[in-house]
Amino acid sequence: MAHPASPFLPVLILLLVAAVTAAAILVLSGWVLPLLKPNNPQEAKLRVYECGVPPLQTGARHKYSVKFYLTAMLFILFDVEAAFLLPWAVNFKTALWTFGAMLSFMATLLVGFVYAWGKGAFEWER
Amino acid sequence: MAELDINDAVLTTRLDAVVNWGRKNSLWPMPFGVACCAIEFMSMMSSKYDLSRFGAEAMRFSPRQSDMMLILGTITNKMAPVLRTIYAQMAEPKWVISVGVCASSGGMYRTYATLQGVDRIIPVDVYVPGCPPRPESIIYGVMKLQEQIEKESLSMRKDHIARFYESLERQDALQAAKGLTSQQTIREMLMDAGERGVGTIF
């Protein structure tokens, strides 16, 4: 009588094959192939590649003050407001009923404006 | 039943032959395109002439991933150190094809500003004549290079490249010692080589 686990023998074989393949790839690429490839470490090969020209400018990555983040956020606030206001003002005569809607939009932004003012977001030196 | 002969069943070969066979069929071109030869090169790489038939379709614009440099155009003295740096940064083993008369000898630019042949500053394997050469000519140049790769020994190629790096060290030392620009340094080295009658600086 066959062992109750015998239908799973192919799974075991598959697992073994997978393990051996993975190990063989690691051993080949890690130990065997580096013996075959040309190995000539040179300082020039580690230099920055700037199309062959020595890099002129260093320190292009400076830190920016977090204050600019606030400025950008405030810009978006007033920018969106103006972008809405202008076309609305142009077409206002033909759509008088939009007055209430625009008033509520302005009121919403006014709350944000007052909040930012109260937090001192418009003070540059802090 | 016939006996199995070992000579029929097993193929023996030299390591050089196997490695060179692999190398010659997997060249990775690096176009150093500075003038009109580069236009012919584009034509050579694309579908009509199609260099990938020769196993060299993997074109890379970074020296770190390529091993066949094609110098396509006029190399000025200003560009000479750039060419040397890029050749130094290429993956080994590396080969150079000088395409067109400007790269090979300065061509019609017989002026103070133009390098009179790139073989003065880096080792060149194949020269392709023409101004600019047709795509077929450049393909023929690549085939000639493949023939050469087939024949060369592995250690020869290694010495060849080692000599170049040795000259790069001399260049850096001279530049640091005299406080010159890299262009001036190469000019100094070329003048010195000319006085000694060798013509090359590597």
pLDDT at B1 over 60: no
ipTM above 0.95, yes or no: no
Q: How far is B196 from chain A (nearest CA, A)?
A: 27
CA distance B198 to chain A (A): 25
Sequence-ordered alpha helix ranges (H) in B10-97: 15-24, 37-45, 80-89
* A34-66 confidence digits (pLDDT tens): 777 778 888 888 888 888 887 777 777 777 778
Search chain B and give the residue with CA nearest A38: B92
Q: Which pLDDT does position B29 carry in this prediction?
A: 93
Mean pLDDT is lowest, of A22-26, A101-105, B43-47, B198-202, for B198-202
DSSP one-letter string for B119-145: GGTS--SEEE-SSSPPHHHHHHHHHHH
Chain B residue with CA closest to A48: the answer is B89
Residue contact B81–A52, C-beta within 8 A:
yes
B chain contacts of residue A50, beta-carbon cutoff 8 Å: none
- In this predicted structure, the answer to whether residue B193 has a pLDDT above a threshold of 60 is yes
Mean of per-residue pLDDT scores for chain B: 89
Tokens of B117: 């042949």
Record: contact A38-B93, CB cut-off 8 A: yes
pTM for the whole thing? 0.71
